[in-house]
Amino acid sequence: MITRILLVDDHQIMREGLMSLMAGEPDLEVVGDASDGRQAVQLAKRLKPDLVVMDISMPGLSGIEATRQILNELDRVRVLALSMHADPRFVAGALEAGAHGYMIKDCTSQELLECIRTVAGGGTYLSPQVAEVVVKGFVRRLGEETGTPPASVLTPREREVLQLLVEGHTVKAIAERIHLGVKTVETHRRNIMEKLGLKNLVDLIKYAMREGVVSLDEWLSS
């Protein structure tokens, strides 16, 4: 199956380079190219490509806004952001607009081709620099939104006790299971609550689900 691609970049040499790269790939076909966001939106509506490779920083209408407009009009089109910037503002803007991948322009030709095929095939692809930005931003926002620290503040033993508590085991049962004294488990429980700033078991269960310590299905079946 051939992936039909629309290239969008305000630098002609960049568009020509991408065309040259894809010309040797039998499963990729460049059906059009645009030098700005407005032209990209118009061409996407007319050509209905499978994939738009979108530069983010362009005069007039940015790649972020062009992405948003294209995806609002065409459900089946996928967008790969291709940019010089790994700045969190650009990354967040592109992903919030609906981009399915974000690649930095200093990547190798093979990395770009792999990214294109992944996104065109229905997957998501972030270059390593971008993935790091996304993860750091997610962790920061999670802390801001919940007001609680991540589970990494707990020791491995405390995380083990946390999971067993949430799964419904009593302190005595936990002590027997992990070969500790009841008072030691009670100390772990108290330390967990203090470190996380939680007051009761309900808060602890909500926290554990939010942090991925235990899933809702696991909790219901425990």
With cut-offs at 50, 70 and 90, classify the pLDDT of residue 102.
very high
The arithmetic mean of pLDDT across residues 209-219, rounded, is: 56
pLDDT tens, position by position, 5-31: 999 999 999 999 999 999 989 999 999
Domains and CATH numbers, the chain: 3-140 (3.40.50.2300), 151-221 (1.10.10.10)
The closest of 164, 93, 168, 170 to 133, measured between CA atoms, is 93
pLDDT tens, position by position, 128-162: 877 776 666 655 555 555 555 566 688 878 888 88
- Answer for the pair 49, 75: CB distance below 8 angstroms, yes or no: no
Residue 34 reports pLDDT greater than 90: yes
